[in-house]
Structure 1
Amino acid sequence: MNTTIEHQPEKSRFVIAVDGEEAGRAEYFDRGSKRDFHHTVIDEKFRGNGLSSTLITAVLDESRQADKKVIPSCPAVSHFIDKHEEYQDLL
């Protein structure tokens, strides 16, 4: 299973693909120095493979590199940050 993550800033989203097929996305609004993640979804066909955690880790790491704080409006992102102390500084 070959997994890739692509940032599509023109669409305000990150897309995770498996073997070239879009498997899910994390959508956001940029609000100055903050990035509001409001929707994360993994296609039903791909659920149960840990792709949500892979995607959220990547979007948080990229947000940190871009010097953006995070607003976790999406429950999946909020839950992930609650469980992973290493991302608390992004709040």
Structure 2
Amino acid sequence: MTTHTIQHQETAARGVFHIQHEGRQVGEMTYSRTNPSLVVVDHTYVDPGLRGHGLAQQLQDAMVAWARKTNTKVVPVCSYVKLQFERNAAIRDVLA
């Protein structure tokens, strides 16, 4: 699995973690901010040609690290993110 650089952007009440590969965006995880310390993660996408290479997991790892650093709690509504929280008790500290 190649580790990619993940960018994070937040504008107003919307945020995104995204991965660029060869000059194009190939993955993203989006959220909505409901208050200063709570976000709802609503969508994860990875380019079909790159699925199965751990990109979604890298996005999740970046989001969890950011949530911990900023004391932000997460409500997962995206099916991928919900499943990862169910599978991995070590990241549940950021759940709302």
Q: TM-score, normalised by structure 1?
A: 0.90
Matched, 1:30 2:33: yes
Instruction: Report the equivalent of 2:18.
Output: 15
Describe the SS at the equivalent of 1:12. Answer: strand
Q: Which ranges of structure 1 fall in alignment gaps of 5 or more residues?
A: none
SS in 2 for 1:39: strand
| Identity percentage of aligned residues | 30
Instruction: Give the Å deviation of 1:75.
Output: 0.8
TM-aligned CA deviation for residue 28 of structure 1: 0.3
Aligned to 1:4: 5
Q: Structure 1: how far apart are the matches of 2:94 and 2:34?
A: 14
CA deviation profile, 1:52-83 (whole Å, cap 9, x unmatched): 11111111111111110000010111111111
Provide the TM-score with structure 2 as the length reference: 0.86
Total equivalences in the alignment: 91
Paired residues of 1:28 and 1:39 also in contact (CA < 8 A):
yes
In structure 2, the gaps of 5 or more residues are none
